[in-house]
Protein backbone atom coordinates (compact mmCIF):
# COMPACT_ATOMS: atom_id res chain seq x y z
CA UNK A 1 0.00 0.00 0.00
CA UNK A 2 2.85 2.37 0.87
CA UNK A 3 4.46 1.64 -2.50
CA UNK A 4 1.19 2.28 -4.33
CA UNK A 5 0.66 5.56 -2.47
CA UNK A 6 4.22 6.53 -3.25
CA UNK A 7 3.85 5.90 -6.97
CA UNK A 8 0.62 7.90 -7.08
CA UNK A 9 2.45 10.79 -5.39
CA UNK A 10 0.67 10.58 -2.01
CA UNK A 11 3.70 9.73 0.07
CA UNK A 12 5.19 13.19 0.38
CA UNK A 13 8.13 13.02 2.81
CA UNK A 14 9.51 16.57 3.05
CA UNK A 15 8.36 19.61 4.97
CA UNK A 16 6.74 22.56 3.20
CA UNK A 17 8.23 26.04 3.60
CA UNK A 18 7.31 28.93 1.29
CA UNK A 19 5.79 26.50 -1.20
CA UNK A 20 9.00 24.45 -1.47
CA UNK A 21 9.42 20.86 -0.35
CA UNK A 22 12.25 21.02 2.16
CA UNK A 23 14.48 18.64 4.13
CA UNK A 24 15.77 19.42 7.61
CA UNK A 25 18.69 21.84 7.23
CA UNK A 26 21.01 19.40 8.97
CA UNK A 27 19.61 16.45 6.98
CA UNK A 28 18.25 14.66 10.07
CA UNK A 29 15.14 12.51 9.72
CA UNK A 30 12.65 10.68 11.88
CA UNK A 31 10.80 7.51 10.93
CA UNK A 32 7.06 7.13 10.61
CA UNK A 33 5.87 3.61 11.44
CA UNK A 34 2.70 1.65 10.81
CA UNK A 35 1.31 1.08 14.32
CA UNK A 36 -0.29 -2.24 13.29
CA UNK A 37 2.94 -3.84 12.06
CA UNK A 38 5.81 -1.66 13.28
CA UNK A 39 7.04 -1.37 9.67
CA UNK A 40 8.69 1.87 8.62
CA UNK A 41 6.39 3.74 6.22
CA UNK A 42 8.62 6.75 5.51
CA UNK A 43 11.34 9.00 6.82
CA UNK A 44 10.46 12.65 7.27
CA UNK A 45 12.68 15.61 8.16
CA UNK A 46 13.47 16.25 11.80
CA UNK A 47 13.17 20.03 11.78
CA UNK A 48 13.74 22.55 14.55
CA UNK A 49 14.02 26.26 15.23
CA UNK A 50 15.67 27.37 11.98
CA UNK A 51 13.18 25.71 9.67
CA UNK A 52 10.31 26.95 11.84
CA UNK A 53 11.60 30.52 11.76
CA UNK A 54 11.77 30.34 7.96
CA UNK A 55 8.25 28.92 7.83
CA UNK A 56 7.05 31.79 10.03
CA UNK A 57 8.79 34.31 7.76
CA UNK A 58 7.16 32.72 4.73
CA UNK A 59 3.72 32.76 6.35
CA UNK A 60 4.23 36.35 7.38
CA UNK A 61 5.15 37.36 3.80
CA UNK A 62 2.24 35.45 2.34
CA UNK A 63 -0.12 37.08 4.84
CA UNK A 64 0.41 40.45 3.17
CA UNK A 65 -1.23 39.25 -0.03
CA UNK A 66 -3.54 36.42 1.14
CA UNK A 67 -5.29 38.69 3.66
CA UNK A 68 -6.05 41.08 0.77
CA UNK A 69 -7.45 38.44 -1.61
CA UNK A 70 -11.20 38.95 -1.99
CA UNK A 71 -13.17 36.72 0.36
CA UNK A 72 -15.02 35.19 -2.59
CA UNK A 73 -11.72 34.17 -4.15
CA UNK A 74 -10.39 32.68 -0.91
CA UNK A 75 -13.66 30.81 -0.72
CA UNK A 76 -13.18 29.38 -4.24
CA UNK A 77 -9.64 28.20 -3.52
CA UNK A 78 -10.79 26.53 -0.31
CA UNK A 79 -13.62 24.89 -2.20
CA UNK A 80 -11.07 23.58 -4.72
CA UNK A 81 -9.07 22.15 -1.84
CA UNK A 82 -12.18 20.46 -0.46
CA UNK A 83 -12.98 19.00 -3.89
CA UNK A 84 -9.43 17.64 -4.30
CA UNK A 85 -9.46 16.04 -0.85
CA UNK A 86 -12.81 14.40 -1.59
CA UNK A 87 -11.59 13.24 -5.00
CA UNK A 88 -8.70 11.49 -3.23
CA UNK A 89 -10.69 10.16 -0.28
CA UNK A 90 -9.41 6.62 -0.82
CA UNK A 91 -5.71 7.49 -0.96
CA UNK A 92 -5.91 9.84 2.02
CA UNK A 93 -7.90 7.22 3.94
CA UNK A 94 -5.22 4.62 3.19
CA UNK A 95 -2.56 7.03 4.36
CA UNK A 96 -4.43 7.58 7.64
CA UNK A 97 -4.77 3.83 8.24
CA UNK A 98 -1.11 3.33 7.36
CA UNK A 99 0.30 5.84 9.82
CA UNK A 100 -2.44 5.99 12.46
CA UNK A 101 -3.96 2.51 12.42
CA UNK A 102 -7.71 3.16 12.41
CA UNK A 103 -9.82 0.83 10.23
CA UNK A 104 -9.90 1.93 6.59
CA UNK A 105 -13.64 2.60 6.57
CA UNK A 106 -13.27 4.84 9.64
CA UNK A 107 -10.23 6.51 8.03
CA UNK A 108 -12.18 7.32 4.88
CA UNK A 109 -14.92 8.61 7.18
CA UNK A 110 -12.34 10.92 8.75
CA UNK A 111 -11.45 12.25 5.31
CA UNK A 112 -15.07 13.26 4.63
CA UNK A 113 -15.46 14.64 8.15
CA UNK A 114 -12.16 16.52 7.92
CA UNK A 115 -12.88 17.86 4.45
CA UNK A 116 -16.23 19.11 5.78
CA UNK A 117 -14.42 21.75 7.83
CA UNK A 118 -12.81 23.12 4.68
CA UNK A 119 -16.11 23.14 2.80
CA UNK A 120 -17.85 24.90 5.68
CA UNK A 121 -15.00 27.43 5.99
CA UNK A 122 -15.16 28.07 2.23
CA UNK A 123 -18.82 28.98 2.66
CA UNK A 124 -18.28 31.07 5.80
CA UNK A 125 -15.41 32.97 4.15
CA UNK A 126 -18.07 35.06 2.39
CA UNK A 127 -19.93 35.87 5.59
CA UNK A 128 -17.41 37.59 7.83
CA UNK A 129 -19.69 40.51 8.67
CA UNK A 130 -18.82 43.49 10.82
CA UNK A 131 -21.23 45.84 12.61
CA UNK A 132 -22.51 49.38 12.41
CA UNK A 133 -23.29 50.51 15.94
CA UNK A 134 -26.07 53.07 16.49
CA UNK A 135 -24.09 56.13 17.53
CA UNK A 136 -24.77 57.94 20.80
CA UNK A 137 -23.18 61.08 19.23
CA UNK A 138 -24.82 63.02 16.39
CA UNK A 139 -21.50 63.82 14.71
CA UNK A 140 -19.92 60.35 14.84
CA UNK A 141 -20.48 56.97 13.20
CA UNK A 142 -19.22 53.77 14.84
CA UNK A 143 -18.12 50.65 12.94
CA UNK A 144 -16.70 47.23 13.78
CA UNK A 145 -14.42 45.59 11.20
CA UNK A 146 -13.39 41.93 11.42
CA UNK A 147 -9.82 41.31 10.29
CA UNK A 148 -7.60 38.21 10.22
CA UNK A 149 -5.33 37.83 13.28
CA UNK A 150 -2.23 37.13 11.19
CA UNK A 151 0.17 34.18 11.19
CA UNK A 152 -1.23 31.14 12.98
CA UNK A 153 0.79 28.32 14.57
CA UNK A 154 -1.30 25.13 14.45
CA UNK A 155 -0.09 22.19 16.53
CA UNK A 156 -2.01 18.96 16.10
CA UNK A 157 -2.15 15.41 17.50
CA UNK A 158 -2.01 11.95 15.90
CA UNK A 159 -5.53 10.65 16.56
CA UNK A 160 -7.13 12.46 13.60
CA UNK A 161 -4.22 13.13 11.24
CA UNK A 162 -6.41 15.07 8.79
CA UNK A 163 -9.44 16.42 10.65
CA UNK A 164 -7.49 18.11 13.47
CA UNK A 165 -5.65 20.08 10.79
CA UNK A 166 -8.58 21.01 8.58
CA UNK A 167 -10.72 22.26 11.46
CA UNK A 168 -7.95 24.77 12.21
CA UNK A 169 -6.56 25.57 8.79
CA UNK A 170 -9.96 25.82 7.03
CA UNK A 171 -11.28 28.74 9.10
CA UNK A 172 -7.83 30.32 9.43
CA UNK A 173 -7.44 30.54 5.65
CA UNK A 174 -11.06 31.57 5.17
CA UNK A 175 -10.47 34.56 7.45
CA UNK A 176 -7.30 35.54 5.56
CA UNK A 177 -4.70 34.13 7.96
CA UNK A 178 -1.67 32.08 6.93
CA UNK A 179 -0.43 29.05 8.86
CA UNK A 180 2.55 27.10 10.09
CA UNK A 181 1.31 23.59 10.83
CA UNK A 182 3.16 21.23 13.12
CA UNK A 183 1.50 17.85 12.81
CA UNK A 184 2.28 15.05 15.23
CA UNK A 185 5.59 13.35 14.42
CA UNK A 186 3.67 10.05 14.60
CA UNK A 187 1.33 11.01 11.73
CA UNK A 188 2.86 13.71 9.50
CA UNK A 189 2.19 12.02 6.15
CA UNK A 190 -1.51 12.85 5.92
CA UNK A 191 -0.73 16.47 6.76
CA UNK A 192 1.88 16.62 3.99
CA UNK A 193 -0.45 15.03 1.44
CA UNK A 194 -3.19 17.51 2.38
CA UNK A 195 -0.73 20.41 2.12
CA UNK A 196 0.28 19.26 -1.35
CA UNK A 197 -3.38 19.26 -2.40
CA UNK A 198 -3.71 22.81 -1.04
CA UNK A 199 -1.03 23.93 -3.51
CA UNK A 200 -2.82 22.10 -6.34
CA UNK A 201 -6.03 23.84 -5.29
CA UNK A 202 -4.45 27.22 -5.94
CA UNK A 203 -3.73 28.23 -2.37
CA UNK A 204 -0.60 30.34 -2.85
CA UNK A 205 2.86 29.20 -1.69
CA UNK A 206 3.61 30.36 1.84
CA UNK A 207 -0.03 30.39 2.95
CA UNK A 208 0.27 26.80 4.22
CA UNK A 209 3.61 25.69 5.70
CA UNK A 210 4.32 22.37 7.41
CA UNK A 211 7.22 21.67 9.74
CA UNK A 212 7.82 18.62 11.95
CA UNK A 213 10.57 17.15 14.07
CA UNK A 214 11.63 18.38 17.47
CA UNK A 215 8.30 19.37 19.04
CA UNK A 216 9.63 21.52 21.85
CA UNK A 217 12.07 23.43 19.59
CA UNK A 218 9.36 24.04 17.00
CA UNK A 219 6.94 25.03 19.76
CA UNK A 220 9.53 27.39 21.23
CA UNK A 221 10.13 29.07 17.85
CA UNK A 222 6.39 29.55 17.31
CA UNK A 223 5.84 30.88 20.84
CA UNK A 224 8.75 33.30 20.89
CA UNK A 225 8.04 34.85 17.49
CA UNK A 226 6.13 38.15 17.67
CA UNK A 227 4.98 37.47 14.09
CA UNK A 228 2.89 34.50 15.21
CA UNK A 229 -0.32 36.09 16.49
CA UNK A 230 -2.28 32.98 17.27
CA UNK A 231 -1.63 29.48 18.61
CA UNK A 232 -4.24 26.84 17.99
CA UNK A 233 -3.61 23.47 19.58
CA UNK A 234 -5.23 20.09 20.01
CA UNK A 235 -3.50 17.64 22.32
CA UNK A 236 -2.77 16.87 25.92
CA UNK A 237 -3.73 19.21 28.74
CA UNK A 238 -0.11 19.33 29.97
CA UNK A 239 1.25 20.56 26.62
CA UNK A 240 -1.73 22.92 26.21
CA UNK A 241 -0.88 24.58 29.52
CA UNK A 242 2.74 25.01 28.41
CA UNK A 243 1.64 26.63 25.16
CA UNK A 244 -0.76 28.93 26.97
CA UNK A 245 1.97 30.01 29.38
CA UNK A 246 4.44 30.39 26.50
CA UNK A 247 2.00 32.56 24.56
CA UNK A 248 1.98 35.11 27.36
CA UNK A 249 5.37 36.54 26.37
CA UNK A 250 3.98 37.95 23.14
CA UNK A 251 0.29 37.94 24.22
CA UNK A 252 -0.95 35.68 21.46
CA UNK A 253 -4.53 34.72 20.91
CA UNK A 254 -4.87 31.07 22.00
CA UNK A 255 -7.34 28.29 21.37
CA UNK A 256 -6.92 24.92 22.99
CA UNK A 257 -8.69 21.60 22.57
CA UNK A 258 -7.35 19.51 25.44
CA UNK A 259 -8.13 16.28 27.20
CA UNK A 260 -11.63 15.20 28.18
CA UNK A 261 -13.03 12.80 30.75
CA UNK A 262 -16.40 12.17 29.17
CA UNK A 263 -19.15 10.74 31.34
CA UNK A 264 -21.76 8.67 29.54
CA UNK A 265 -24.80 8.51 31.83
CA UNK A 266 -27.37 5.80 31.29
CA UNK A 267 -30.55 6.27 33.28
CA UNK A 268 -33.00 3.53 34.20
CA UNK A 269 -35.52 5.09 31.82
CA UNK A 270 -33.19 4.91 28.77
CA UNK A 271 -34.07 2.97 25.64
CA UNK A 272 -31.61 0.12 26.10
CA UNK A 273 -30.95 -0.40 22.39
CA UNK A 274 -30.27 3.31 21.83
CA UNK A 275 -28.02 3.45 24.90
CA UNK A 276 -26.05 0.39 23.80
CA UNK A 277 -25.53 1.66 20.28
CA UNK A 278 -24.59 5.17 21.42
CA UNK A 279 -22.24 4.02 24.16
CA UNK A 280 -20.52 1.57 21.85
CA UNK A 281 -20.02 4.31 19.26
CA UNK A 282 -18.65 6.91 21.65
CA UNK A 283 -16.45 4.47 23.59
CA UNK A 284 -14.84 2.51 20.77
CA UNK A 285 -14.42 5.06 18.01
CA UNK A 286 -10.75 5.03 16.94
CA UNK A 287 -10.18 2.22 19.50
CA UNK A 288 -11.04 4.67 22.27
CA UNK A 289 -8.43 7.21 21.17
CA UNK A 290 -10.47 10.39 20.91
CA UNK A 291 -10.88 13.18 23.45
CA UNK A 292 -14.68 12.83 23.28
CA UNK A 293 -14.69 9.05 23.83
CA UNK A 294 -16.79 7.99 26.83
CA UNK A 295 -14.25 7.68 29.63
CA UNK A 296 -16.67 6.77 32.42
CA UNK A 297 -19.91 4.92 31.77
CA UNK A 298 -22.28 5.77 34.62
CA UNK A 299 -25.19 3.32 34.77
CA UNK A 300 -28.17 3.65 37.11
CA UNK A 301 -28.55 0.70 39.49
CA UNK A 302 -31.89 -0.51 38.08
CA UNK A 303 -30.40 -1.46 34.70
CA UNK A 304 -26.75 -1.85 35.66
CA UNK A 305 -26.49 -5.65 35.30
CA UNK A 306 -28.73 -5.84 32.27
CA UNK A 307 -26.73 -3.09 30.54
CA UNK A 308 -23.38 -4.59 31.53
CA UNK A 309 -24.29 -7.99 30.05
CA UNK A 310 -25.75 -6.64 26.82
CA UNK A 311 -22.88 -4.19 26.39
CA UNK A 312 -20.25 -6.83 26.93
CA UNK A 313 -21.99 -9.11 24.37
CA UNK A 314 -21.86 -6.30 21.82
CA UNK A 315 -18.20 -5.54 22.57
CA UNK A 316 -17.30 -9.22 22.24
CA UNK A 317 -18.43 -9.22 18.61
CA UNK A 318 -16.09 -6.41 17.52
CA UNK A 319 -13.33 -7.59 15.20
CA UNK A 320 -9.81 -6.49 16.15
CA UNK A 321 -6.94 -6.34 13.67
CA UNK A 322 -4.91 -4.43 11.12
CA UNK A 323 -7.02 -1.51 9.87
CA UNK A 324 -6.71 -2.81 6.31
CA UNK A 325 -8.25 -6.17 7.29
CA UNK A 326 -11.73 -7.11 6.12
CA UNK A 327 -14.44 -6.38 8.71
CA UNK A 328 -12.00 -4.96 11.27
CA UNK A 329 -13.61 -2.31 13.51
CA UNK A 330 -10.89 -2.03 16.18
CA UNK A 331 -7.37 -1.21 15.04
CA UNK A 332 -4.16 -1.04 17.06
CA UNK A 333 -3.31 1.65 19.59
CA UNK A 334 -0.88 4.28 18.35
CA UNK A 335 2.21 2.74 19.99
CA UNK A 336 3.34 0.47 22.76
CA UNK A 337 3.53 3.29 25.28
CA UNK A 338 -0.22 3.76 24.81
CA UNK A 339 -0.80 0.05 25.51
CA UNK A 340 1.34 0.25 28.65
CA UNK A 341 -0.68 3.22 29.90
CA UNK A 342 -3.93 1.31 29.38
CA UNK A 343 -2.46 -1.72 31.15
CA UNK A 344 -1.43 0.31 34.16
CA UNK A 345 -4.88 1.95 34.44
CA UNK A 346 -6.54 -1.47 34.31
CA UNK A 347 -4.13 -2.86 36.94
CA UNK A 348 -4.84 0.09 39.22
CA UNK A 349 -8.60 -0.42 38.91
CA UNK A 350 -8.33 -4.16 39.61
CA UNK A 351 -6.13 -3.56 42.63
CA UNK A 352 -8.86 -1.26 43.99
CA UNK A 353 -11.71 -3.74 43.52
CA UNK A 354 -12.87 -3.40 39.89
CA UNK A 355 -13.82 -6.60 38.03
CA UNK A 356 -13.05 -7.58 34.44
CA UNK A 357 -16.19 -8.59 32.59
CA UNK A 358 -14.48 -8.89 29.21
CA UNK A 359 -10.91 -8.57 27.90
CA UNK A 360 -8.54 -6.87 30.32
CA UNK A 361 -5.27 -7.78 28.65
CA UNK A 362 -3.13 -7.39 25.55
CA UNK A 363 -4.55 -8.95 22.42
CA UNK A 364 -2.99 -12.10 20.97
CA UNK A 365 -2.10 -10.05 17.86
CA UNK A 366 0.74 -8.55 19.92
CA UNK A 367 2.53 -5.26 20.52
CA UNK A 368 0.01 -2.46 19.95
CA UNK A 369 -3.22 -4.43 20.19
CA UNK A 370 -5.33 -4.46 23.34
CA UNK A 371 -8.50 -6.49 23.82
CA UNK A 372 -11.76 -4.54 23.84
CA UNK A 373 -12.48 -4.51 27.54
CA UNK A 374 -15.45 -4.02 29.85
CA UNK A 375 -14.79 -3.45 33.57
CA UNK A 376 -17.44 -3.29 36.28
CA UNK A 377 -17.39 -1.99 39.85
CA UNK A 378 -15.30 1.01 38.87
CA UNK A 379 -15.52 4.08 41.09
CA UNK A 380 -14.67 7.73 40.58
CA UNK A 381 -11.45 7.50 42.64
CA UNK A 382 -9.66 4.98 40.42
CA UNK A 383 -7.03 6.45 38.07
CA UNK A 384 -9.05 5.42 35.00
CA UNK A 385 -11.86 7.70 36.18
CA UNK A 386 -9.48 10.61 36.76
CA UNK A 387 -7.42 10.40 33.55
CA UNK A 388 -8.17 9.79 29.91
CA UNK A 389 -7.92 6.06 29.21
CA UNK A 390 -7.43 6.63 25.45
CA UNK A 391 -7.90 2.95 24.73
CA UNK A 392 -10.58 0.30 24.19
CA UNK A 393 -11.53 -0.02 27.85
CA UNK A 394 -15.07 0.65 29.04
CA UNK A 395 -15.35 1.22 32.80
CA UNK A 396 -18.88 0.88 34.24
CA UNK A 397 -19.70 2.89 37.37
CA UNK A 398 -22.96 2.52 39.30
CA UNK A 399 -25.17 5.36 40.58
CA UNK A 400 -28.51 5.62 42.38
CA UNK A 401 -29.98 9.08 41.76
CA UNK A 402 -29.86 11.73 39.05
CA UNK A 403 -28.24 14.10 41.54
CA UNK A 404 -25.50 11.61 42.29
CA UNK A 405 -24.87 11.06 38.56
CA UNK A 406 -24.52 14.79 37.93
CA UNK A 407 -22.17 15.13 40.88
CA UNK A 408 -20.00 12.23 39.70
CA UNK A 409 -20.00 13.51 36.11
CA UNK A 410 -18.86 16.99 37.13
CA UNK A 411 -16.28 15.77 39.64
CA UNK A 412 -13.31 16.28 37.28
CA UNK A 413 -11.10 19.10 35.99
CA UNK A 414 -12.07 18.21 32.43
CA UNK A 415 -15.23 19.39 30.66
CA UNK A 416 -15.28 18.48 26.99
CA UNK A 417 -18.05 16.05 26.00
CA UNK A 418 -20.73 14.28 28.03
CA UNK A 419 -23.49 11.88 26.98
CA UNK A 420 -26.81 11.04 28.54
CA UNK A 421 -29.34 8.37 27.69
CA UNK A 422 -32.93 8.83 28.88
CA UNK A 423 -36.41 8.83 27.39
CA UNK A 424 -37.51 11.74 29.56
CA UNK A 425 -37.51 15.12 27.85
CA UNK A 426 -37.55 16.92 31.20
CA UNK A 427 -34.55 14.98 32.46
CA UNK A 428 -32.60 15.47 29.25
CA UNK A 429 -32.91 19.27 29.59
CA UNK A 430 -32.28 19.28 33.33
CA UNK A 431 -29.16 17.15 33.10
CA UNK A 432 -27.82 18.84 29.94
CA UNK A 433 -27.98 22.17 31.74
CA UNK A 434 -26.36 20.82 34.89
CA UNK A 435 -23.38 19.18 33.16
CA UNK A 436 -20.21 21.29 33.21
CA UNK A 437 -19.24 20.32 29.67
CA UNK A 438 -18.87 22.07 26.32
CA UNK A 439 -20.72 19.35 24.39
CA UNK A 440 -23.64 17.14 25.44
CA UNK A 441 -24.97 14.22 23.41
CA UNK A 442 -28.52 13.24 24.37
CA UNK A 443 -29.41 9.73 23.17
CA UNK A 444 -26.54 10.08 20.70
CA UNK A 445 -22.93 8.93 20.84
CA UNK A 446 -21.53 10.61 17.75
CA UNK A 447 -21.94 14.37 17.96
CA UNK A 448 -19.00 15.92 16.06
CA UNK A 449 -19.80 17.81 12.88
CA UNK A 450 -18.28 20.82 11.18
CA UNK A 451 -21.49 22.82 11.57
CA UNK A 452 -21.57 22.72 15.40
CA UNK A 453 -19.18 24.32 17.92
CA UNK A 454 -16.71 21.81 19.37
CA UNK A 455 -14.78 22.64 22.51
CA UNK A 456 -14.52 22.32 26.24
CA UNK A 457 -14.83 24.15 29.54
CA UNK A 458 -12.62 23.98 32.65
CA UNK A 459 -9.23 22.40 31.80
CA UNK A 460 -10.52 20.91 28.54
CA UNK A 461 -9.73 24.08 26.69
CA UNK A 462 -10.48 27.49 25.34
CA UNK A 463 -12.37 28.50 22.24
CA UNK A 464 -14.46 26.53 19.78
CA UNK A 465 -13.78 24.79 16.48
CA UNK A 466 -16.25 24.31 13.65
CA UNK A 467 -19.46 26.28 13.05
CA UNK A 468 -19.67 30.04 12.57
CA UNK A 469 -18.08 30.43 16.03
CA UNK A 470 -14.93 28.65 14.87
CA UNK A 471 -14.27 31.61 12.57
CA UNK A 472 -14.06 34.07 15.47
CA UNK A 473 -10.91 32.34 16.71
CA UNK A 474 -9.03 33.70 13.67
CA UNK A 475 -10.47 37.22 13.65
CA UNK A 476 -9.75 40.43 15.48
CA UNK A 477 -12.33 43.15 15.90
CA UNK A 478 -11.40 46.66 14.99
CA UNK A 479 -13.55 49.53 16.18
CA UNK A 480 -13.51 52.49 13.80
CA UNK A 481 -14.98 55.78 14.93
CA UNK A 482 -15.69 58.27 12.15
CA UNK A 483 -15.97 61.69 13.79
CA UNK A 484 -16.63 65.37 13.10
CA UNK A 485 -19.25 64.61 10.50
P1 LIG B 1 -0.90 13.39 22.57
O2 LIG B 1 -0.94 12.74 23.92
O3 LIG B 1 -2.20 13.48 21.88
O4 LIG B 1 0.23 12.93 21.70
P5 LIG B 1 0.61 15.80 22.97
O6 LIG B 1 0.11 17.01 23.65
O7 LIG B 1 1.80 15.12 23.50
O8 LIG B 1 -0.66 14.88 22.92
O9 LIG B 1 0.87 16.09 21.43
C10 LIG B 1 0.05 16.92 20.65
C11 LIG B 1 0.93 17.74 19.74
O12 LIG B 1 1.71 18.61 20.54
C13 LIG B 1 1.92 16.93 18.91
O14 LIG B 1 2.03 17.53 17.64
C15 LIG B 1 3.19 17.07 19.70
O16 LIG B 1 4.34 16.89 18.91
C17 LIG B 1 3.07 18.49 20.17
N18 LIG B 1 3.94 18.85 21.30
C19 LIG B 1 4.33 18.06 22.32
N20 LIG B 1 5.12 18.77 23.16
C21 LIG B 1 5.22 20.02 22.67
C22 LIG B 1 5.89 21.23 23.08
N23 LIG B 1 6.64 21.29 24.18
N24 LIG B 1 5.73 22.33 22.30
C25 LIG B 1 4.99 22.29 21.19
N26 LIG B 1 4.35 21.20 20.76
C27 LIG B 1 4.46 20.09 21.48
pLDDT of 415-453, one tens digit each?
Answer: 999 999 999 999 999 999 999 999 999 999 999 999 999
Residues 265 and 419 sit within 8 Å (Cβ to Cβ): yes
pLDDT of residue 313: 98
Instruction: Tell which atom from ligand 1 comes closest to the C-alpha of 240.
Output: 6
Is residue 184 in contact with ligand 1, taking CB distance under 6 Å? Answer: yes
Rounded to whole angstroms, how far apart are CA atoms 321 and 326?
Answer: 9
How close is the Cα of 163 to the center of ligand 1, in Å?
Answer: 16
| Nearest CA residue ID for atom 2, ligand 1 | 236
What pLDDT digit, counting tens, does each position of 13-71 carry?
999 999 999 999 999 999 999 999 999 999 999 999 999 999 999 999 999 999 999 99
Is residue 337 in contact with ligand 1, taking CB distance under 6 Å? Answer: no
| Nearest CA residue ID for atom 7, ligand 1 | 236
Backbone angles phi, psi at 64, to 5 degrees: -55, -40
What pLDDT digit, counting tens, does each position of 262-296 carry?
999 999 999 999 999 999 999 999 999 999 999 99
pLDDT of residue 78: 98
Is residue 88 in contact with ligand 1, taking CB distance under 6 Å? Answer: no
Residues 66 and 174 sit within 8 Å (Cβ to Cβ): no
What pLDDT digit, counting tens, does each position of 211-239 carry?
999 999 999 999 999 999 999 999 999 99
- Is ipTM > 0.85 here? yes
How close is the Cα of 168 to the center of ligand 1, in Å?
Answer: 16
Provide the CB-side half-sphere exposure for 390 (13 A, CA). 23
Residues 205 and 20 sit within 8 Å (Cβ to Cβ): yes
Is residue 44 in contact with ligand 1, taking CB distance under 6 Å? Answer: no
Mean of all residue pLDDT scores within the chain: 98
Residues 271 and 443 sit within 8 Å (Cβ to Cβ): yes
What pLDDT digit, counting tens, does each position of 174-218 carry?
999 999 999 999 999 999 999 999 999 999 999 999 999 999 999
The answer to pTM > 0.80 is: yes
| Nearest CA residue ID for atom 15, ligand 1 | 184
Instruction: Tell which atom from ligand 1 comes closest to the C-alpha of 155.
Output: 14
How close is the Cα of 150 to the center of ligand 1, in Å?
Answer: 23
Residues 154 and 232 sit within 8 Å (Cβ to Cβ): yes
What pLDDT digit, counting tens, does each position of 318-361 carry?
999 999 999 999 999 999 999 999 999 999 999 999 999 999 99
pLDDT (mean) for 78-101? 98
Angstrom CA distances, 181 to 64, 116, 226, 461, stand at 19, 19, 17, 19
Known catalytic residues?
Answer: 257, 291
Amino acid sequence: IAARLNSSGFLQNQGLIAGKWTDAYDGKTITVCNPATGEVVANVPCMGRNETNDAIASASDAFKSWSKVAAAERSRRLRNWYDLIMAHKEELGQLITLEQGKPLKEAIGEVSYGAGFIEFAAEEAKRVYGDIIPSPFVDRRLFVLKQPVGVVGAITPWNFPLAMITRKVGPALACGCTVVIKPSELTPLTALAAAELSLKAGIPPGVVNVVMGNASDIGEALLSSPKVRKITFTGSTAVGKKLMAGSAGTVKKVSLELGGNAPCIIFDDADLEVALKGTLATKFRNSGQTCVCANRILVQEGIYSKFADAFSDAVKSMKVGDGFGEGVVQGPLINEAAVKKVESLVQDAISKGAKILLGGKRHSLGMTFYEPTVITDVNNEMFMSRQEVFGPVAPLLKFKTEEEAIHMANDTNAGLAAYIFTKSVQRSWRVSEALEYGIVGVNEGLVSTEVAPFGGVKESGLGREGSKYGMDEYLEMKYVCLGNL
